[in-house]
Structure 1
Amino acid sequence: MARITSAELGKESIAKLLIRQSVPASIGILVMSINILVDTIFVGNWIGSIAIAAINVVLPVSFFIAALGMAIGIGGSSIISRALGKNHQEKALQTFGNQISITLLVTVSMVVIGLVFIDQLIPAFGGKGEIFEPAKIYYRIVLYGVPILGLAMMGNSVIRAEGKPKFAMVAMIIPSVGNLLMDYIFINILDLGMFGAAWASTGSYVLCMGYILWFFLSKNSELKVKWEHFKLKLNILKEIGALGFVTLSRQAVVSLTYLLLNNILFELGGESSVTTYAIIARMLMFALFPVLGVTQGFLPIAGYNYGAEQYTRVRESINKAIWYAAAVAIVVFICIMTFSTEIVSVFTQEEAVLASTPSAMRWVFAAVPIIALQLIGSAYFQAIGKAVPALLLTLTRQGFFFIPLLLILPKYFGELGVWLSFPLADLISTIVTGYFLNKEIKNTLIETETTEQLE
């Protein structure tokens, strides 16, 4: 039964597959995003707005280390999807075993480094003034659970590669619900403050990993690794590394932008400006959940069919994924533009934050209707195993355009320059991605289809 499920990626209609893959992914991201939002609301109301800023300072550090697991997961999952498409079961097993081994080695090493340099990293990421002490408390505790989170994120990507999005969805829902329950108990009932918020997050990682471990040990998974599969193989590690480096680079740039944003905003407006961005960052995670869901649902479909050399289906999956993602992005745009003030008031009642955040949020979301093309385009190259273009297109928005704009515009426009950097980077990167995606489709997919028809 498991083999039939993965094989359906090459048989069922693309529209049905995108819905089947994207809806569970979207629901999982939605629940996770609601968890982040409600967690922020709990922290803001039960601890204070400084605690929101403190958590936002820690996020890029813990996200980057956790992203190592995500990078290994997505890099290996691309290999697994194509291997299953070609019916190369042994390569899929070897890849999965190597993913587990390297995830443990890398994340544990990074946690040690993160703890050693704790007093240097927190101020570097904007944890200054009143923000430093609560950020340090949260950082230390959350970091202990990062290896578990890394393994969980890696495993979640592999579940999707097997064509089982509903299990991946549950894997995202369990820790989200668990975190909120533990937030209520640790912060509101036991009054543990930042300690409670941190232990709730770490506990949620453990719940997630427990479910994923059950999945792979049960009959639901077709990837039954043996001890010999855990032995590191250089050729597999190179392929995982090349594709995973795309995701890792993306998260590294995200962490760098957090660093720059927190420091620039602290200099321009103090703690309240850092809090403004913390709220907007949560809304970016929450509001874009359906767009990200379509992107995640698209990856195994494109990868499997590319491996099976069904290029017409690959092209169809690209077109439909872009249209579906664009449609939901437009809905998100309308909601943000209409209800930004009401959204911000849910997080805090502090006048300084309420006065500046709604307009800033509108600027940040101004180009959301066009980002579907950029997300699907860069994801396509990763799905088919083309690491270099995937890396370059992934870095276009935040690396090549957003960071330079962030360094230049605030000098002329102050804090407004920070918020203008978001839509401008979205616009430029979408144009660049569209050009290269169109070129790839013409030169590879259409040309190959034509050659096969002539033969």
Structure 2
Amino acid sequence: MQRKESAELGQKPISKLLIGQAVPASIGILVMSLNILIDTIFVGNWIGPIAIAAINVVLPVSFFIAALGMAIGIGGSSIISRALGANDKLKALKTFGNQITLTLILTIGMVVPGLIFMDSIIPTFGGKGDIFDPAKIYYTVVLYGVPFLALCMMGNTVIRAEGKPRFAMIAMIIPSVGNLILDYILINQLNWGMAGAAWATTASYLCCFAYILWFFLSGKSELRISRTHFRLDVPILKEIGSLGAVTLARQAVVSIVYLLMNNILFKLGGETSITVYAIIARMLMFALFPVLGVTQGFLPIAGFNYGAEKYQRVRKSINLAILYSCTLGLAIFAGIMFFAEDIVRIFTQNETIIAETPSAMRWVFAATPIVALQLIGAAYFQAIGKAIPAFLLTLSRQGFIFIPLVLILPKFYGETGVWVSFPLADLFSTIITAYFLNREIVRTLK
């Protein structure tokens, strides 16, 4: 029998459900984003601007490996939400067991060669010149903790799929708070430099893993798996893979974007331009937290009700998610436009970086009020298990549109061409997503 938390996804008013799911998700993302943001501020002020660039070089590598866990988590959680909605508890249990096994196999398989070939990987992602040595120190330590981060990302999505957003929020808060405390101790007090930043990050992953393990072993979860559920099941693996490929492809594209941006900007402006991008990238992670929270909150609601064939509730969840997220996007846009220079001064006192970053940041955030529609639209197809449209729409923004733009426009407009590529990609991908989402709603949600 379903527990109250998951069953309520098909019963409570959509507005209350969306707020109830989105607020804890937003808080969790906020704290996690603040962790990344403050971590960057600490590193920039206690170690130096080059350290910010070094971390920016390492992030796409470590996050791509960790994103294997997120991909498996989101792909499997879509199955779990729909299985709980259809009252198919056995499929939900098998899916969760397979998620754990698959995450361990893939992440460990990626970390080992990642450590062996680090001297080649780091320069490829922009770790050149003065950036290489601090990037190598950070990279080596952080990669040891990446499998635990992957398990945390996977487990967090499953917790949310069960309809327990508060526990998912706490799982995101623990490593963030832990990392900031350890940053202060290891960098500021013990003067460990880049090694201190790296060990603080890795230890925070372990804290998060310990909490998620406790959640599933203590009886808080309704998914009580046994040994048999860990055995890989081919049909379930295919379904996880097809849906998870959307998230993995998105993160792969993000890593490619980092690679291209770091190399293009290094040629145009050296270490300074990479630092400018690093600051803007942190703001993208931080400022969009409420929009991403609505997107995360929307997923289990849409998936559960679609599985239960309550299509009017699905339709209402789409409309409200777009309304809430676009309103929040407009507020974020206004904040960036008015306070860009003040934001940059928090990260560094380097006058060159302060002079260059605000204009670039305003360009990057120019289409924020409408990009929420693109995120919700792509998430909807993933929630209902339609992997191909979810895959294509997810890749449309940064893959199919942004990458060609950022390869072409800088040849004519220099660094300005790099920054203008962001809002153009957001605009075109939003138009495409709106068309396909509307067509799907008219065809299936009657």
Q: Do both proteins adopt the same fold according to a TM-score greater than 0.5, normalized to the shorter chain?
A: yes
Q: Separation in 1 of the partners of 2:384 and 2:227?
A: 29
CA displacement, residues 238-289 of structure 1 (integer Å, 9 cap, x when unaligned): 0000000000000000000000000000000010100000000000000000
Matched, 1:121 2:121: yes
CA displacement, residues 328-369 of structure 1 (integer Å, 9 cap, x when unaligned): 100000000000000000000101101100000000000000
Q: Separation in 1 of the partners of 2:2 and 2:57?
A: 42
Alignment of 1:26-425 (within 5 A): 26-425=26-425
Q: Separation in 2 of the partners of 1:162 and 1:255?
A: 30
- How far the C-alpha of 1:144 sits from its partner, in A, is 0.3
- How far the C-alpha of 1:219 sits from its partner, in A, is 2.1
3-state SS of 1:191 partner: coil
CA displacement, residues 35-69 of structure 1 (integer Å, 9 cap, x when unaligned): 11110000001000000000000000000000000
- How far the C-alpha of 1:2 sits from its partner, in A, is 6.8
3-state SS of 2:445 partner: helix
Residues 242 and 387, structure 2, Cα contact 8 Å, conserved in 1: yes
**Count of residue pairs the alignment pairs up:** 446
- How far the C-alpha of 1:414 sits from its partner, in A, is 0.1
**What code does the residue aligned with 2:357 have?**
T
**What code does the residue aligned with 1:377 have?**
G
3-state SS of 1:385 partner: coil
Q: Separation in 1 of the partners of 2:113 and 2:68?
A: 14
3-state SS of 2:113 partner: helix
Unaligned 5+ segments in structure 2 are: none
3-state SS of 2:191 partner: coil
Residues 69 and 103, structure 1, Cα contact 8 Å, conserved in 2: yes
Residues 2 and 220, structure 1, Cα contact 8 Å, conserved in 2: no
**What code does the residue aligned with 2:177 have?**
V
Matched, 1:443 2:418: no
Q: Separation in 2 of the partners of 1:305 and 1:197?
A: 43
Q: Separation in 2 of the partners of 1:5 and 1:236?
A: 24
TM-score by length of 2: 0.99
Residues 2 and 87, structure 2, Cα contact 8 Å, conserved in 1: no
- How far the C-alpha of 1:188 sits from its partner, in A, is 0.4
CA displacement, residues 408-441 of structure 1 (integer Å, 9 cap, x when unaligned): 0000000000000000000000000000000000
Q: Separation in 1 of the partners of 2:125 and 2:370?
A: 30
TM-score by length of 1: 0.98
**What code does the residue aligned with 1:265 have?**
L
Give the structure 2 partner of residue 23 of structure 1: 23
Q: Separation in 1 of the partners of 2:204 and 2:423?
A: 34
Cα-Cα RMSD: 0.7
Give the structure 2 partner of residue 450 of structure 1: none
Structure 1 segments (4+ residues) deviating >4 Å: none
Q: Separation in 2 of the partners of 1:43 and 1:390?
A: 37
Give the structure 1 partner of residue 7 of structure 2: 7
Q: Separation in 1 of the partners of 2:2 and 2:345?
A: 47
**What code does the residue aligned with 2:445 have?**
L
Unaligned 5+ segments in structure 1 are: 447-455
How many percent of aligned residue pairs carry the same amino acid? 73
CA displacement, residues 220-255 of structure 1 (integer Å, 9 cap, x when unaligned): 100010000000010100000000000000000000
3-state SS of 1:120 partner: helix
**What code does the residue aligned with 2:209 have?**
M
